[in-house]
Chains A and B, each alone.
Chain A
Amino acid sequence: MPHDHHDHDHDHDHPHDHGLSPSGHPYRQDDDAPLTYWQRMEIAVRELLIEKGVTTAAEVAAQIDLMDSRSPANGAAVVARAWTDPAFKARLLENAGDASREMGFDIGPLHLIAVENTAQAHNLIVCTLCSCYPRNLLGLPPDWYKTRAYRSRAVREPRAVLAEFGLNLPDSTTIRVHDSTADMRYIVLPARPAGTDGWSEVDLATLVTRDSMIGTALPRSPQTVAQDG
Chain B
Amino acid sequence: MGGDEAGPVPMDGHDFALWEKRVDALMVLCSSKGHFTVDGLRRALEDMGEDAFEKHSYYERWIAAVNQNLIEGGVYSLEELATRMEAVAQRGTTYGEAAHGAQPHSHDVHDHDGHDHD
Contact = CB atoms under 8 A, between A and B. Distances in A.
Task: Please tell me whether chains A and B touch each other in their complex, using a CB distance cut-off of 8 A.
Answer: yes
Interface of A: 1-3, 12-16, 21, 25-28, 30-36, 38-52, 54-65, 67-68, 128-131, 140, 142-144, 146-153, 155-156, 161, 164-165, 179
Nearest to A16: B115
Contacts of A33: 94-95
A187 B87 CA distance: 44
Contacts of B107: 56-58
Contact of A144 (B10, B64, B116): B10
Interface of B: 1-19, 21-26, 28-30, 33, 35, 42, 45, 53, 56-60, 63-64, 66-67, 70, 75-76, 80-81, 84-85, 87-89, 92-99, 101, 103, 105-108, 111-117
Contact of A147 (B10, B56, B108): B10
Contacts of A131: 58
A144 to B, nearest CB: 5
A140 B16 contact: yes
A40 B15 contact: no
Nearest to B92: A35
A48 B8 CA distance: 41
Given A38-B60, A62-B117, A129-B1, A32 B26 contact: no
Contact of A152 (B4, B23, B96): B4
A184 to B, nearest CB: 13
A142 B11 CA distance: 9
Nearest to B70: A45
Contact of B113 (A15, A143, A148): A15
A152 B97 CA distance: 39
Contact of B8 (A31, A140, A164, A179): A164
A179 B94 CA distance: 39
Contacts of A148: 1, 4, 6, 53
A51 B25 CA distance: 17
Contact of A31 (B25, B57, B94): B94
A40 B56 contact: no
A79 to B, nearest CB: 22
The interface centre, meaning the residue of B19, B60, B70, B117 with most chain A CB atoms within 10 A of its CB, is B19
Contact of B85 (A44, A67, A155): A44
Given A30-B18, A128-B2, A149-B7, A61 B99 contact: no
B22 A42 contact: yes
B98 to A, nearest CB: 5
Given A2-B15, A60-B26, A143-B13, A31 B6 contact: no
